[in-house]
Structure 1
Amino acid sequence: MHLDWEIKPSLLMYVAGAPGGRLVVGPEVGGEGASFRFGLDVDRSSGLDGGGTTPDARAFAFTGSIAFFGHFGSFVGEIGDPEVRAVDGGDWSMSILDRESGVRTDAFRLVGAPAQDAGGRRLRWPRVEVSAPGASLWGGNYPAGTPFEPVVVDLGGD
């Protein structure tokens, strides 16, 4: 069970091409190429309101972090321990944790209900946008509404 996300190709290309740029990918994060895989944190998921490991759950928690560094090692942003949860109005939110400060921010809006495969074990949000609070995390480079790549929550196993 995991969350798969390619994040944003232009961000990854910037980091890869900037002098001194790099990604620091935590050991909990897997995936291949530009696709990152955050494992489900079962204990944290079941502790969330309506969370768990079933497709009808209303919240899921994942573990792992990716830090982005740009020109000459300057910090760009971090995706840490994402949590995905349903919010009022039919949208979902993905919050991320700043592991250094311990502050969690609802950084991304997952627009609408997720598309589900026939078994309902794979949830996909094709439209993901930076939220207003999330815009502050990227130093003004990604204002509210900026699209990021689709998010997939796979509850079928690893």
Structure 2
Amino acid sequence: MFERLSVEETTRLELLAWRVRNELAAAGLPVVAPGMDPQLVGGAEVTIDRGADAAGGVYVGWSGSPRLRECTSRALRLRRPDDPALLHSARVADAMVRALRTVLSSAGLTVEDANDTYRPRQLRVVSRPDPGAPPVWELREEESASAGRETG
């Protein structure tokens, strides 16, 4: 029987996923918003597995553009294993997962390979920085004070 995480643990994971999305957006990467139709967008995808088991947690992966995904789907449908779109798509995904790891690690998050057959080329976000540590991109006190003087 599938067991869900507690409300407290789910809230913790939602906050972690929020932090991951914000760090990736602060780096300038496109981030797929939850609930968006994947046919319309590509970019970093952050998901939460709410299962109360070893697979539960926050995961991040890369989704290429809808056009690149269509090219790879067509190659698979037509059984063309030598189609350049397949190799290119795999290389792009590998490069972007390395970039996601670098960005998130630099932001103080702990990430590891998902090591899950159902999550190829994805990372699992294990922990975030100390909750008291603000993100490097957060508005600083001196910035808000100077902004108030400029408008006044």
- Give yes or no for TM over 0.5: no
TM-score if structure 1 supplies the norm length? 0.27
Please identify which structure carries the higher strand content: 1
TM-score, normalised relative to structure 2: 0.28
Structure number with bigger Rg: 2
Which structure shows the bigger proportion of residues in helix conformation? 2
